[in-house]
Amino acid sequence: TLNQYVSDVQDKINVSFEFFPPKTEEMEHTLWQSIFRLATLKPKFVSVTYGANSGTRDRTHDIIKAIKSKTGLVAAPHLTCIDASQEQLKQIAKDYWDNGIRHIVALRGDIPAGQPNPQIYAADLVKLLKDVADFDISVAAYPEVHPEAKSAQADIDNLKRKVDAGANRAITQFFFDIEQYLRFRDKCAAENINVDIIPGILPVSNLKQLEKFAQMTNVHVPNWLINMFTNIDDDPETRKFVGASVAMDMVKVLFREGVRDFHFYTLNRAEMSFAMCHTLGVRP
Ligand code: FAD
C-alpha cells in the first residue's frame, strides 16, 4: 500500500538542510519559520554557511547554537580555512567541541580576487580538525569539476585526500545534469572513495538568480532549464510551479538511481525543500 511504501522509504532516506546567516530582522524571521517547519522532517543534520557572503564566524556559531537549543537537531557549522591561521582554526574547533558541536562542514573557502594561491586546502583542514577531536566531517565535491582544478582527475584525487584525511561524507555543488552527477559518483566509487556523495539540490524559481550562482560556480545551466523559465520573469506564480516541477523530477530520478541521502540548499525558505521531501516520502 501507499502507506507502507511511505513508511518503508521514510526509514531509508536521510535529508539535510543548509541555511545561511540572515542579514536583516525580516530575513531572520523567515529563517526561523523555515527551520521549525523543516525540523518536523527530522533531518539527519542541518548546516549553516560561513564566510565572505554570510558574515562572520560568530554569526554562524550563534545560529548553530540557537538551532541546537531550540530544536535539538544536529547542527553543523561550515568552516573555511583560507582566512584563518592554523592556531585560530584549532581554537575554533576546540570551542565547537566544547559546545557540543560534533559535525563540521570543512571547506577551503573562495580565494578573494587578486590574492595568491592559498597555503592550505580543505584536506589540510580535515586533518587539523581530526587532530583536535573526532568530529563528524562533511566536505565539498564537484560533479562538474571545481573551477580551479587542474583536471577532473586532480579534483577527484583531492576529494580522495579529504576522505582519507577523515571526511565522513561529501556534499556536492548544485547541478542540473543528473547524468554528470551519476558519472561522478561512479568515478568516486572506482577510486575507492567509500563515502556517500550526497547530491546538493538547489531549488530554482528565478532564472536570473540561478545564472548568477551558476556563473560564480561554473555550473552548467542546461538549455532545457533556461527554456523552462523563458518568458515568465514577470509571472512569479508560474515560475513557482515550473521550479517545483523541475525540483520534483530531479529528486525522483535521483531516488530511482539509488540516492538515499539528499542535501537541500534551502536559501532559508522551507517551501520547496519541504515539498521535495514530501515527494520522497519524507514527512512529519
Ligand atoms: P578544496 O577541496 O581545498 O579544493 C579547492 C581547489 O583546489 C580544487 O580545485 C582542488 O582540486 C584544488 N586543490 C586541492 N588541493 C590542492 C593542492 N594541494 N594543490 C593544488 N590544487 C589543489 N564557501 C564559503 O565561503 N562558505 C561556505 O559556507 C561554503 N559552503 C559550501 C558548501 C558546499 C556543499 C559546497 C560544495 C561549497 C561551499 N563553499 C562555501 C564554497 C567553497 O568554499 C569553494 O568552492 C572553494 O573554492 C573550494 O572549497 P573546497 O573545500 O572544495 O576546497
| ipTM summary value | 0.99
Q: What is the pLDDT of residues 268-284, one digit of tens each?
A: 999 999 999 999 999 99
pLDDT per residue, tens digit, the chain (284 aa), is 666 666 666 568 999 999 999 989 999 999 999 999 999 999 999 999 998 554 567 899 999 999 999 999 999 999 999 988 999 999 999 999 999 999 999 999 988 878 887 889 999 999 999 999 999 999 999 999 999 999 999 999 999 999 999 999 999 999 999 999 999 999 999 999 999 999 999 999 889 989 998 998 999 999 999 999 999 999 999 999 999 999 999 999 999 999 999 999 999 999 999 999 999 999 99
Contacts of 18 (CB under 8 A, 6+ apart): 46, 47, 48, 49, 200, 263, 264, 265, 266
DSSP state of 108: -
DSSP state of 104: E
The pLDDT value given to residue 9? 63
Radius of gyration for the alpha carbons in the chain, expressed in angstroms and rounded: 19
The pLDDT value given to residue 1? 66
Distance CA 121, CA 195 (A): 20
User: Cell numbers 521531501 label which residue?
Assistant: 277
Distance CA 76, CA 85 (A): 21
Report strand pairing: 196-201 vs 169-174: parallel
Going by CA atoms, what residue is nearest to atom 42 of ligand 1? 109
Atom of ligand 1 nearest to the CA of 154: 11
- Ligand 1 centre to CA of 282 (Å) is 30
- Ligand 1 centre to CA of 217 (Å) is 11
Catalytic (active site) residue 25: no
- Ligand 1 centre to CA of 278 (Å) is 31
Distance CA 61, CA 70 (A): 14
Nearest one of 100, 110, 103, 59 to 80, comparing CA atoms: 110
pTM: 0.96
Amino acid at 7: S
Atom of ligand 1 nearest to the CA of 60: 28
- Ligand 1 centre to CA of 126 (Å) is 12
Mutate to test the pocket of ligand 1, among 46, 56, 108 (most ligand atoms within 8 A of CB): 108
Q: Which residues line ligand 1 (CB under 6 A)?
A: 49-52, 78, 80, 105, 107-110, 121-122, 140, 146, 148-149, 154-155, 158, 162, 171, 173, 200
Give the active site residue among 18, 28, 179, 191. Answer: 18
The pLDDT value given to residue 272? 96
